[in-house]
Amino acid sequence: MTTFALIGAGPGLGAATARRFGREGFDIALVARSRDRLDALAAELAEDGVRARGFTADVRDPEALTAALDRAAADLGPIEALQYSPVPHPDFMRPIDRTDPRDLRGPLDFSLFGPMTAVSRVLPGMRALGRGTLLFVNGGSAVRPHHERAGTSIAFAAEGAYARMLHDSLAAENIRVAQLIVPGAITPGDAHTDPARLADLLWDLHQRGGEFRYFAAPVDD
């Protein structure tokens, strides 16, 4: 049995994707900062027949994130698929004319160094399996930078560049890398951004691979 590691586990997209991958037979490693939230989500998934376990870590703490992924692989099995989709902090979204270099440390720790830490930890296991999937979920500012959201615009762009290079370098090793862009808010019932629909998209990206970047909905210019 292999494991789907979800970094940024929460009640919306995280829960929907965990349920989708769990329905396909994956054990689910839930990674987030809040133990109470992780326990509640694991219990909810168990009611649907999904085996899930929570592992606490702040993505801006490389040692904690590394330890969480190591424990997940030890407790549940090798990590075959990883999704990186934590929700950015509101204070990352400052106007560009009120943003200085210090303001970018948090966003870059969150959206660049966090995923780099996670990938470096799970990649050897994927290579040992001979397969794997790395999924990155970002908002529209990853491809359309917005002057009112400087931190996420810059950090998401860096994350996208990193993930694109992984896509190009790992394809020959049967390790799929994809970025899903979700413009605007994730909204239950929305034709484009309903969590269950996005979870189906992410499952499809895991199964078929292909191009690097996909859009849940059109991105406004």
Please state, in angstroms and rounded to a whole number, the distance separating the CA atoms of residues 119 and 142: 19
What pLDDT, on a 0 to 100 scale, did the predictor assign at position 88? 85
- Return the pLDDT at 44: 95
Residue type at position 104: L
Q: What is the pLDDT along the chain (221 residues), one digit of tens a residue?
A: 799 999 999 889 999 999 999 999 999 999 999 999 999 999 999 999 999 999 999 999 999 999 999 999 999 999 999 999 998 877 777 889 999 899 899 999 999 999 999 999 999 999 999 999 999 999 999 999 889 889 899 999 999 999 999 999 999 999 999 999 999 889 889 889 999 999 999 999 999 878 999 999 887 75
pLDDT of residue 221: 57
What would the 3-class secondary structure string for the chain be? CCEEEEECCCCCHHHHHHHHHHHCCCEEEEEECCHHHHHHHHHHHHHCCCCEEEEECCCCCHHHHHHHHHHHHHHHCCEEEEEECCCCCHHHCCCHHHCCHHHHHHHHHHHHHHHHHHHHHHHHHHHHHCCEEEEEEEEHHHCCCCCCCHHHHHHHHHHHHHHHHHHHHHHHHCEEEEEEEECCCCCCCCCCCCHHHHHHHHHHHHHHCCCCEEECCCCCC
Instruction: Spell out the domains of the chain, with CATH numbers in brackets.
Output: 3-215 (3.40.50.720)
- What the block records as the tokens of 197 is 């629909």
Stated pTM of the model: 0.95
Closest CA to 182 of 148, 149, 147, 213: 213
Give me the pLDDT at residue 210, please: 85
- Cβ–Cβ < 8 Å for 181, 192: no
Assess contact for 3 and 77: CB atoms under 8 A.
yes
* Residue 93: predicted pLDDT: 78
Structure tokens at 141: 């500012």
